[in-house]
A and B are shown apart, each in its own frame.
Chain A
């Protein structure tokens, strides 16, 4: 996990401008200068006060027209969620989700650090939509970030800006901490454990009380739509997937940054990939693609519940669900990791698979039984001359695990692992012969060490 709360703008590789849309006024969520946090005065100087015209209905109308979808990974239409919240009685508690349990993603904590007032504006707007007077901001465990946000909230309260009170709640350092029902469990005072939700709709906080949960980036976009309107919002992005999004590109040289791009931007541009394929060298797992930062064999799209794509395929794609879904991938939370050609893709996958298994909440039998076994099988396949039964066992367990948990942890983990077996099939073939194309044993993808052991680790 990146410990940096600063962000760097990705220098666009020469000859690869952001996909075809000059002068859009990017970035929107982050200040042009990059790393300096925006305080209240600068925020108001840049954007002016928040005065949503047309009250609640005006806001709902504008958000619907803008076509804003959730930026937490699920891409649910925000207008629908807000409308459901508007109709809920009593008014739901409004929660901004900044937990960012995904180790490969840094966008939420960066946004909270740099532009907290956009998030806090959005939180107030969500409270207006829900008719609620209380809001919560759910944030990662970091004293510095907590201090900064508490300060921002206090500043706004002193200026009388916020109609809804804002409480800061810390999320545990777990992969699933940001899962919607886990967040709600935490708000209710217990550990951040996902809950069984047989009925879709706003999550239940307590008997008769619901919660409206939105990712912090979504809230930031909301704050801008309320000021500049739906038409402005749609100036970036595609027709089906409008607007901009924050991504966390992991370049082949190991550098990680947070970058805002319009939806539909080219993956190649974000990672500095040069679309020309390199030769499949003897002993390598497959064709690699050169990039400004080193040769790349595969790209992980979405995060640890996302999917691997071969580098050549990824280099041709826009960052949009319309193009990614047919290939079994999705934009997700905007993680894009370019795996260097000199790493072993199976070893990387095995490390992540082990992490995903250890991060199981341990509540559902198929998950806490199946994911560890699957992780062990992947580790086995990442070694030399694996037992031929390991692959068959893995497939059987993957089938047993998907869809049988309370949350999507088993499903997402299986998607990630299955995509690895597809993309690194040639590597697997090498391993069967006792060989491996990886020459650099250093881990590439960020995977936290340690494993949760007690109830406290989930609180």
Chain B
């Protein structure tokens, strides 16, 4: 049971907080929108990932359980 980060592209307004809080997995494209690494969130980064999810002002980032 792995966890993956998902961005709701409609809710996302390009605040960029997620990339600041989790640069290991999230970068911003040339327009300020997040590019999420296509890999499960490693255990060592799970707490940071939850902080990034909580830190999004638009609630656009989610941590999803993927079988």
Check: A364 CB closer than 8 A to any chain B CB. Answer: yes
Check: A195 CB closer than 8 A to any chain B CB. Answer: yes
Q: Which residues of A lie under 8 Å from residue B20 when comparing CB positions?
A: none
Q: How far is the CA of A366 from the CA of B6 in the complex (A)?
A: 15
Q: State how many angstroms separate the Cβ of A180 from the closest Cβ of chain B.
A: 15
User: Which residue among A196, A364, A365, A406 has the maximum number of chain B CB atoms within 10 Å of its CB?
Assistant: A365
| Chain A: CB-nearest residue to B8 | A196
| Chain A: CB-nearest residue to B9 | A364
Q: How far is the CA of A195 from the CA of B11 in the complex (A)?
A: 10
Q: How far is the CA of A363 from the CA of B11 in the complex (A)?
A: 8
State which of A363, A366, A405, A406 has its C-beta within 8 Å of the C-beta of B29: A366
Q: Which residues of A lie under 8 Å from residue B8 when comparing CB positions?
A: 196, 198, 406
Q: State how many angstroms separate the Cβ of B27 from the closest Cβ of chain A.
A: 11
Q: State how many angstroms separate the Cβ of A285 from the closest Cβ of chain B.
A: 33
> Is A365's CB under 8 angstroms from B14's CB?
yes
Given the known inter-chain contacts A196-B11, A198-B64, A364-B12, please indicate yes or no for A369 contacting B6, CB distance below 8 A: no
Given the known inter-chain contacts A365-B12, A365-B14, please indicate yes or no for A198 contacting B33, CB distance below 8 A: no
Interface residues of A in 361-397 (CB under 8 A from B): 363-367, 369-370
Q: How far is the CA of A320 from the CA of B10 in the complex (A)?
A: 34
Q: How far is the CA of A30 from the CA of B14 in the complex (A)?
A: 49
Check: A400 CB closer than 8 A to any chain B CB. Answer: yes
Q: How far is the CA of A196 from the CA of B12 in the complex (A)?
A: 11
> Is A364's CB under 8 angstroms from B29's CB?
no
Q: How far is the CA of A134 from the CA of B12 in the complex (A)?
A: 35
Q: How far is the CA of A313 from the CA of B8 in the complex (A)?
A: 40
> Is A196's CB under 8 angstroms from B31's CB?
no
Interface residues of A in 342-370 (CB under 8 A from B): 363-367, 369-370
> Is A365's CB under 8 angstroms from B33's CB?
yes
> Is A400's CB under 8 angstroms from B29's CB?
yes
Q: Which residues of A lie under 8 Å from residue B33 when comparing CB positions?
A: 364-366, 369, 404
Q: Which residues of B lie under 8 Å from residue A370 when comparing CB positions?
A: 31
Q: State how many angstroms separate the Cβ of A361 from the closest Cβ of chain B.
A: 9
Check: B23 CB closer than 8 A to any chain A CB. Answer: no
Q: How far is the CA of A404 from the CA of B27 in the complex (A)?
A: 13
For this complex, into which size category does the number of interface residues on chain A fall?
Answer: 10 to 19
Q: Which residues of A lie under 8 Å from residue B11 when comparing CB positions?
A: 196
> Is A365's CB under 8 angstroms from B6's CB?
no
Q: Which residues of A lie under 8 Å from residue B35 when comparing CB positions?
A: 400, 404
Q: Which residues of B lie under 8 Å from residue A365 when comparing CB positions?
A: 9, 12-14, 31-33
Would you give the 0/1 interface string for B7-50, flagging 1 where the beta carbon is closer than 8 Å to chain A? 01111111000000000000001111101000000000000000
Q: Which residues of A lie under 8 Å from residue B13 when comparing CB positions?
A: 365
Q: How far is the CA of A406 from the CA of B30 in the complex (A)?
A: 19
Q: State how many angstroms separate the Cβ of B26 from the closest Cβ of chain A.
A: 13
| Chain A: CB-nearest residue to B32 | A365
> Is B10's CB under 8 angstroms from A363's CB?
yes
Q: How far is the CA of A322 from the CA of B2 in the complex (A)?
A: 34
Q: State how many angstroms separate the Cβ of A387 from the closest Cβ of chain B.
A: 18
Would you give the 0/1 interface string for A400-421, flagging 1 where the beta carbon is closer than 8 Å to chain B? 1000111000000000000000
Q: State how many angstroms separate the Cβ of A398 from the closest Cβ of chain B.
A: 13
Q: Which residues of B lie under 8 Å from residue A364 when comparing CB positions?
A: 9-10, 12, 33
> Is A400's CB under 8 angstroms from B32's CB?
no
Q: State how many angstroms separate the Cβ of B60 from the closest Cβ of chain A.
A: 9
> Is A404's CB under 8 angstroms from B9's CB?
yes
Q: How far is the CA of A363 from the CA of B31 in the complex (A)?
A: 14
Q: How far is the CA of A406 from the CA of B8 in the complex (A)?
A: 7
Q: State how many angstroms separate the Cβ of A196 from the closest Cβ of chain B.
A: 5
Q: How far is the CA of A405 from the CA of B14 in the complex (A)?
A: 13
Interface residues of B in 50-67 (CB under 8 A from A): 62, 64
Q: How far is the CA of A370 from the CA of B10 in the complex (A)?
A: 15
> Is B29's CB under 8 angstroms from A196's CB?
no
Would you give the 0/1 interface string for A64-89, flagging 1 where the beta carbon is closer than 8 Å to chain B? 00000000000000000000000000
Q: State how many angstroms separate the Cβ of A403 from the closest Cβ of chain B.
A: 10
Given the known inter-chain contacts A198-B64, A365-B14, please indicate yes or no for A405 contacting B30, CB distance below 8 A: no
Q: State how many angstroms separate the Cβ of B15 from the closest Cβ of chain A.
A: 11
> Is A406's CB under 8 angstroms from B9's CB?
yes
User: Which residue among B6, B8, B35, B64 has the maximum number of chain A CB atoms within 10 Å of its CB?
Assistant: B8
Q: State how many angstroms separate the Cβ of B48 from the closest Cβ of chain A.
A: 21
Q: How far is the CA of A369 from the CA of B9 in the complex (A)?
A: 13
Q: Which residues of A lie under 8 Å from residue B31 when comparing CB positions?
A: 365-366, 369-370
Known interface pairs A364-B10, A364-B33, A400-B29; 11 further A-B residue pairs with C-beta atoms within 8 A, sorted by A's residue number:
A196-B9, A196-B10, A196-B11, A198-B6, A365-B31, A366-B9, A366-B29, A366-B31, A370-B31, A404-B9, A406-B10
- Enumerate the 7 nearest inter-chain pairs by beta-carbon distance, A residue then B residue, closest first: A364-B9, A365-B33, A369-B31, A363-B10, A196-B8, A196-B10, A406-B10
A-B contact pairs, 5 of them (CB 8 A): A365-B33, A366-B33, A369-B33, A400-B30, A405-B9
